[in-house]
Amino acid sequence: MGRIVLSVFTTLDGVIENPHEWAFGFVGEDSMQAGLDQIRAARALLLGRVTYEGFAASWPSMTDEVGYADAMNNLPKYVVSTTLTEATWNNSTIIGADAAARIEALKKEVDGDILVFGSAALVRWLLRENLLDEMRLAVYPVLAGRGARLFDDDSADPAALRLSGTQAFSSGVVLLTYEPTGEGLADPAAARRAAEANAGG
């Protein structure tokens, strides 16, 4: 059974846009190894159209000694879009109509992690559809001040997450791993009343 796993770089103030402008000053051997382990464990990529097109324009020409580029280029890729008509990057498939059903089927077909990079709109949709299994947030010690965020003010319903892992890197970057619980946030007043009732009982 496959798991859909978000992997994203974010600043302390929640910006995910243009990580090349703020992330690469915090690269270390330990974080590079974590990234390599992650891509080696993946069995497919799931991307939104904008992220897919950006990757498709750059990754095919990339090479490296450790095999990260080879993994990116050779993995099966699924791009969720109702507007994209052609996907030319190696091993690419467009998921258009009936996306939720097709992704459910994909999770049953794939044995391992299906990685989502960036793709903020796709991530918000996956959460609403209860299709996202894990969120890996690499938090950089940077305040970007401006730029697109994974969640804007009105982009998602209140939801609870469970912290399932933490890893601090030598550069100061912290990897936080969360699992959606499928539950909304508890009503504070109701929680307080329940606590008071339990204390009195």
Q: Which residue reads 């030319």 in tokens? A: 88
Q: What pLDDT is stored for residue 201 in this prediction? A: 47
User: Is residue 173 classed exposed, middle or buried when 0-12, 13-18 and 19+ CB atoms within 10 A define those classes?
Assistant: buried
Reduced to 3 states (helix: H, G, I; strand: E, B; else coil), residue 22 is coil
Residue 155: predicted pLDDT: 57
pLDDT score, position 199 = 63
Residues of the chain with confidence (pLDDT) below 50: 188, 190-191, 194, 201
CA distance 165 to 183: 19
With vertex at residue 49, the alpha carbon angle to CA 20 and CA 118, rounded to the nearest 5 degrees, is 40
pLDDT at residue 186 in the model: 56
Q: What would the two tokens of residue 5 be?
A: 């796993």
pLDDT of residue 118: 85
Quick one: pLDDT at residue 193? 54
28/168 Cα distance (integer angstroms): 11
